Amino acid sequence: MKRWRTPATLLLASVVMLACSGQRPVAAPQAGSPTNTSGPAQGGRLIYGLSADANGFNPVTDQFAAQSYSMAGTIIEPLVSVDANGDWKPYLAESLTPNAKYDEWTIKVRTGVSFSDGISLTGDIVKANLDAQKASPLNAAVFVPIKSFELADPMTVKVKLNQPWVAFPYYLAAQIGMIVPPATLADPKSGSLKPVGTGPFIFKEYVPDNRMVVAKNPRYWRQGLPYLDEVEFRILPDSQTRAQTLEAGGVDAIGTSRDEDLTKFGAMKDAYTVHRAQGMAVPEYMFMLNTAVAPLDDVRVRKALAYGTDRKTVISTLRGGLTEPAEGPWSKDSKWYAAGGYPDYDAAKAAALVKEVEAEKGPIRFELISTPDPNTMQGVELAQDMWRKAGIEVSIKQADQADLINRAVTGNFAATVWTQFSAPDPDGEYIWMHQAYAKPVGAVSLNFTRLKDAKLSAALDVGRGNPDEAARKAAYGTVQERLRELVPFVFIDHLNTGAIVAKTKVRGIGEHVLPDGEKGLPLTGSPIPYHPFSGIWVTQR
């Protein structure tokens, strides 16, 4: 897994790793799934292969990526979840209610819920968690629109805002809405290593870069769950090793983003099931450009890169033809998609723009950052060759994950390969695009491209504050129009190759049910998706 490409590993990871949807995917068994005729079985142990270790398990202090949610999510639960239709649903919250202006939300905390340490969940604990998130350097920027959290009664928290915020509950479906007990807030380091929560499993063992083991929570508030006695998460960073370990029987399930795994295991339907992310749960693969540094501060250069990129060749070469070209942050099957205007491949237009710029400023040269992962490098080198043919000289700089992230956040880059945009509501992309979050090179900026555009930002403001869906659709149509005109990203494709591959004895992946009885969103996250473990069961012990 190219873990560094997932913005969830960055500052404010919680925003990007929200539960995702958009095209209203249905939580149905995937092709090759066995028919469940006897119902879930209690007991058993699951060994699950992850692509990377977590950076810690405290949602207030630690950066969460997909693997963090897989492991910590078995123990720590959020206030909100997302159903199979892409709508937010209360989880640890019993209800969330806005006022008429959407500048105040009332969170009613669910009764009868306890942490595994025996402490009952209360409004005061929820308020303390939200206050801690607002004060956290990691997640504070998400809560900039919030004035205060106030305890209205022992089980009710009022959220007072500086502005209307229609999609606010979605933000509580991920890291910033995950609730930990007072002991964790008092001792954050302990919570990073030995998490405690209200979830279906409790912490048992953790060996960094090797494994994490969780055991069934006997006092879990959702009766009858979980089914499994134990889950062991095995850290297997190399994608080929992970697939080979599954095939050899060393693990029961793995996450993957390799098209060869989908093809291989998908053909062995009697032995394996393949569960793929769909809709807006599928992120976009792209090249991210720093619009604040030369030569990419010139929109003509950015457009030349887009015109010079043959997306169909990239897809056929890197994806086995399994993905669809991307024109922006939302796919054609999303209700938020607006058609038209993306600069499709046109070698002649690319060359003409390059010559125009060269006549004024001289040769166009810049550095493109990549990790040394072979699959990633193949795509980077392919783009390098395409852009060279247009007359642009691109050098490739390899960097490890930590270095690349730091360079993106501080603006110390010209271009990098990137994966992003899979929030359940378009407002989830606000801080990554709005000009208020574009800071000078050298300063921490959540708008990594540092693009400042008043029209785009005004449209994002309308989408955030207007409850009328037609008005929101029009606003996000403007967002797409401006992205296509200004090209801060060279979009390639929608990464629907992210999947979970499991032995057929493993049941219930992507079939979990929320407290209100509705089906939950099947898979979440990118480029390798994750899912809840409370409803998973095995047919053999």
Q: What is the pLDDT of residues 112-132, one digit of tens each?
A: 999 999 999 999 999 999 999
Residue 526 has pLDDT above 90, yes or no: no
Residue 23 has pLDDT above 50, yes or no: no
pLDDT mean over 12-32: 35
Rg for the chain, CA atoms, rounded: 23
pTM, rounded to two decimals: 0.87
User: Which residue is associated with the tokens 């998460």?
Assistant: 233
Q: What is the pLDDT of residues 41-58, one digit of tens each?
A: 999 999 999 998 998 999
pLDDT mean over 241-257: 96
Count other Cβ atoms within 10 Å, centred on residue 365: 12
Q: Per residue, what are the HEC states of 435-471?
A: HHHCCCCCCCCCCCCCCCCHHHHHHHHHHHHCCCHHH
Residue 527 pLDDT grade (very low, low, confident, very high; cuts 50, 70, 90): confident
What DSSP character marks residue 119?
P
Identify the residue with better confidence: 77 or 529.
77
pLDDT mean over 345-367: 98
Q: What is the pLDDT of residues 409-434, one digit of tens each?
A: 899 999 999 988 888 899 999 999 99
Structure tokens at 451: 């693009």
What DSSP character marks residue 156?
E
Count of all residues that appear for the chain in the document: 541
Q: What is the pLDDT of residues 72-83, one digit of tens each?
A: 999 999 999 999
**Percent with pLDDT over 70 in the chain:** 91
Among the residue ranges 73-77, 109-113, 356-360, 371-375, the one predicted with the least confidence is 371-375
| Termini Cα distance of the chain | 29
Which is nearest to 463 in space by CA: 451, 447, 480, 449? 480
Note the pLDDT of residue 402.
65
Q: What is the pLDDT of residues 162-184, one digit of tens each?
A: 999 999 999 999 899 999 999 99
Which is nearest to 430 in space by CA: 388, 394, 463, 469? 463
Structure tokens at 118: 């025996």
Torsional class of 507: left (φ above 0), alpha (ψ -120 to 50), beta (otherwise): beta
Note the pLDDT of residue 496.
82
**DSSP sequence for 274-296:** EEE--GGGSPEEEEEE-TTSTTT
CA pair distance 16, 525, nearest whole angstrom = 8
At residue 184's C-alpha, the angle toward residues 147 and 162, to 5°, is: 5
Cβ-contact 259, 320 below 8 angstroms? yes
CA pair distance 312, 322, nearest whole angstrom = 11
